[in-house]
Amino acid sequence: VPAFGYWLAEPRFLADSLTLSASAVSSQWFIYSQVKEFGALVFAATMNVRQVVSILVSYMKYHHPITVLQVFGLLAVFAALFCKSYLGMQQQTEKGEQQPLVSEKEEAGKAGTATADYRAADKA
């Protein structure tokens, strides 16, 4: 198998691919946890902050020059995104908890119906 041959020839490849895989798995876990615990709006705001920090770190690390027009562009775009996230969180706080799309009784009734449907299909 050629892939294993490359892995044996380049042992650093295994460490790099394992690091990449572990990073992907852990980031997905943190994303899921954050959305579950705090909601999609907080996640969107977090992603906005991550993008800003990523761009600024890239400019500093790689010594890219940044023009005044680029600074204004970054400020305009991310200010709009932050404003949108902030207003969404404010509206969510003001409204309080929304009604669930499916009530617990309806959910329990559907589960019972599905079981009955399976039993009827088994008899047929």
List pLDDT tens digits, range 47-74.
988 988 998 899 999 999 989 999 999 8
Model confidence band, residue 20 (pLDDT cutoffs 50, 70, 90): very high
Q: How far apart are CA 47 and CA 38, in angstroms?
A: 13
The pLDDT of residue 45: 84
103 vs 33, higher pLDDT: 33
Helix ranges restricted to H, 39-67: 40-61
Closest CA to 80 of 48, 35, 41: 48
